[in-house]
Amino acid sequence: MIKFPFFRKEHNHFPERPPGSLFSIGKEDPLFHEKFKGLRAIVEQKADLLQKKILGITSSIAGEGKTTICGQLGRSLASTGRKKVLLVDVDVRKADLTRGMGAQRVPGLTEFLQGGSTLPKIIHSTRVPNLDMITSGIEVDSPADLLAGDKFKTFLQEIKTSYDMIVLDTPPVLPVADTPTISDLTDGFLFVYRAGFTPYTMLRQALEDLGENCVLGVVINGVEVESESYYRKYYGSYYRRDPVMGKPNK
C-alpha cells in the first residue's frame, strides 16, 4: 500500500471549487506539483509493471479529494507525452469532474450505457494534449444498476484499446453502492483518505466493503504541511517558489 502524504492544506476547511476550475488548486504551489509528480511516478511504475490500465479513484465518504486527485493525476500522466490518458466521470450523481473541467454533461457515460449514444460521440478532447474525457451524462435514477450491467463492462473493454491509462472518478464507497459494484471491472483503485476529516472506523469499513485486494494505494489528502521556512531549511536550494512551477507540470 502506498502512503502518500498529500498536498498543502491551505485552509482549515477545503474551499469550494467553482465550475471549470479543477486545475486551479495548488497552481502557485511548487510542493503541490512535486507531490503530483511523485504520485504519477508511482502510478506509472505500478501500471507498467502490473499491466494495469483502468484505475478508479475512490474514498470512504464525500469530500475527501477524489475528483481533485483524479483530474490532476490525469493531467500529470498525460503531460509527459508518454501516455494517452482518458478521464471518465463515473460519479454520475454529482458530475463534479465534468463541472470541474468546464465540460457539458451530455452526451456522456449514461447516454452511452442507455444505448442513446456512441463512443466517438461521448469522447471529448480537453485543452491538455494527450488527455481526453468522458463526461457523466444526464443523471439517472439508479446509477448502481446502470453500472452493474454488461454494457459498462463492454464500455471499459472498448476504451481500453484506445488509451494507455484510464482514470475513473467514482463515488465514495460508504454512502452508495456504485463503486463496490464496479470494483471487479477496474484494474484497481487509488483510495483517498482525508486526514483529520474521515473517522478511521469509516476508512476500515470502506476498505472492507470495496475489498482491500483491489486497492493499489492510499493517497492521504489534506495533511498539515509545515511553513515555507521549514521547506527552505530542510529542502534547501531544491525548494524554490518558482513561477514556472505554477504552470501545468511536464
Ligand X SMILES: Nc1ncnc2c1ncn2[C@@H]1O[C@H](COP(=O)(O)OP(=O)(O)OP(=O)(O)O)[C@@H](O)[C@H]1O
- Footprint on this chain of Mg ion (rule: CB under 5 A): 66-67, 96
| Interface segment toward ligand X; rule CB under 6 A; list 79-87, 91-99, 105-113, 147-155 | 91-99
96 makes contact with ligand X (CB under 6 A): yes
The H-or-E segment that residue 32 falls in is: helix 30-50
- Whose CB is nearest to ligand X? 14
Residue 65 to residue 70: CA distance in whole angstroms: 9
Residue 166 to residue 186: CA distance in whole angstroms: 10
Binding mask 5-24 for ligand X (x = CB under 6 A): --x-xx---xxxx-------
Residue closer to ligand X, measured from CB, 164 or 228: 228
Contact predicate 55/187, CB 8 Å: yes
In angstroms, what is the minimal distance from the CB of 74 to ligand X?
13
From 40, 56, 59, 136, residue interacting with ligand X (rule: CB under 6 A): 59
**Helix, strand or coil, per DSSP, at residue 34:** helix
Q: How many residues bind ligand X (CB under 6 A)?
A: 22
With CB under 5 to 8 Å by kind, the binding choice for 184 among Mg ion, ligand X, none is none
Nearest to 78 by CA among 129, 154, 23: 129
Contact predicate 72/109, CB 8 Å: no
Residue 164 to residue 155: CA distance in whole angstroms: 15
Residue closer to ligand X, measured from CB, 50 or 230: 230
In angstroms, what is the minimal distance from the CB of 160 to Mg ion?
23
249 makes contact with ligand X (CB under 6 A): no
Residue closer to Mg ion, measured from CB, 30 or 222: 222
Terminal C-alpha separation, the chain: 26
Nearest to 3 by CA among 190, 165, 175, 166: 190
Q: Which residues bind ligand X (CB under 6 A)?
A: 7, 9-10, 14-17, 25, 59, 62-68, 91, 94, 96, 172, 221-222
